[in-house]
Amino acid sequence: MKTSQNTLLITGGSAGIGFEIARLFASNYNQVIITGRDSDRLQQAAARIPHVTAIQSDVSQPEDVDQLVEQLWQDFPQLNIVVNNAGLAYVHSLSENTRTFDLAREEMLTNYLSTLRLNEKLLPLLKQQKEAAIVNVSSIVAFAPNHRLATYGASKAALHSYSLSLRLALAKTTAIRVFELMPPLVNTDFSQEIGGASGIPPSIVAEALLKAFEQDQYEIHVGRTADLYALSRSSPADALLAMNPMG
């Protein structure tokens, strides 16, 4: 996959991993469009990246998605990469919580179902391009869950399974490549409640994506995800323990 002269849409590009992907790809001669819900945060982020386009849009809202897709057809008919990065997680206890269903529904909607919807709606545009890619941002927890993030882990496991199928389905009839970006703990706003300060910087995740494009490496195991993946194949029980240390 080429790493310059692309037009990318990055959902949730106003902070964290999405912002760093936007910054890196913009500096590498790509046209970048970022979305987010909070307009002020989005504008502030856009002001920090030359030539980026910011569009306020919530991936979980069907009307927002329809408007976004319409605007992309109109203003960016050359769009050839979609990065499904917007996501949310709730830290909660399956044994104590009484809101498991509601929290899981929100996570599934944002992290999993909204990705399906946006991809489905953008496929006709992507199919027109000579070279195109979909990047789904899942997580290390897609391989082995952490029980404090149980329902988040399940949403990312669903996204992982879907990404495998989407890759196969699109490879049969289109030129669209499907990448899955699987970060470990990353130091962003998102992860502070689970010790994110000790995570890797989001810029490392962005660099891993660029390198994976160069090498057409479709499943991207960033940092510790590579070790955890290997462990989950050789010993699923040890992988589960590694993600859920005792004490």
Ligand X SMILES: NC(=O)c1ccc[n+]([C@@H]2O[C@H](COP(=O)([O-])OP(=O)(O)OC[C@H]3O[C@@H](n4cnc5c(N)ncnc54)[C@H](OP(=O)(O)O)[C@@H]3O)[C@@H](O)[C@H]2O)c1
Q: How far apart are CA 170 and CA 115, in angstroms?
A: 15
Stretch that binds ligand X, among 31-39, 93-101, 120-128, 213-221 (CB under 6 A): 31-39
Q: Does 185 bind ligand X (CB under 6 A)?
A: yes
94-113 residues near ligand X, rule: CB under 6 A: 110
Shortest separation between residue 88's beta carbon and ligand X, angstroms: 5
Q: Does 9 bind ligand X (CB under 6 A)?
A: no
Q: Does 17 bind ligand X (CB under 6 A)?
A: yes
Burial label, 115 (beta-carbon count in 10 A; 0-12, 13-18, 19+): buried
Which residue type sits at 29?
Y
Shortest separation between residue 19's beta carbon and ligand X, angstroms: 7
Q: Does 88 bind ligand X (CB under 6 A)?
A: yes
Q: How far apart are CA 243 and CA 142, in angstroms?
A: 11
| Tokens encoding 101 | 């269903």
Q: Does 15 bind ligand X (CB under 6 A)?
A: yes
152 among known catalytic residues: yes
Tell me which of 90, 112, 152, 229 is the catalytic residue. Answer: 152
Selected from 112, 190, 213, 229, the binder of ligand X by CB under 6 A is: 190
Selected from 46, 68, 87, 104, the binder of ligand X by CB under 6 A is: 87
| Tokens encoding 165 | 């199928």
Q: How far apart are CA 117 and CA 137, in angstroms?
A: 15
Task: Quickly count helices (H) and strands (E) in the chain.
Answer: 9, 7
Q: Contact 220/212 with Cβ under 8 angstroms?
A: yes
Q: Contact 65/118 with Cβ under 8 angstroms?
A: yes
Selected from 2, 41, 105, 117, the binder of ligand X by CB under 6 A is: 41
Residue with Cβ nearer ligand X (34 or 170): 34
Q: How far apart are CA 161 and CA 164, in angstroms?
A: 5
120-139 residues near ligand X, rule: CB under 6 A: 137, 139
Shortest separation between residue 145's beta carbon and ligand X, angstroms: 13
Stretch that binds ligand X, among 83-91, 121-129, 170-178, 236-244 (CB under 6 A): 83-91
Block residue for tokens 């069907």: 62
> What are the start-end ranges of the H helices in the chain?
16-27, 39-47, 62-75, 100-107, 114-127, 150-173, 202-215, 224-234, 236-243
Residue with Cβ nearer ligand X (30 or 35): 35
Q: Does 189 bind ligand X (CB under 6 A)?
A: yes
Q: Which residues are catalytic?
A: 152
Interface residue list for ligand X (CB under 6 A): 11-12, 14-18, 35-38, 41, 58-60, 85-88, 110, 137, 139, 183, 185-186, 188-191, 196, 199, 202
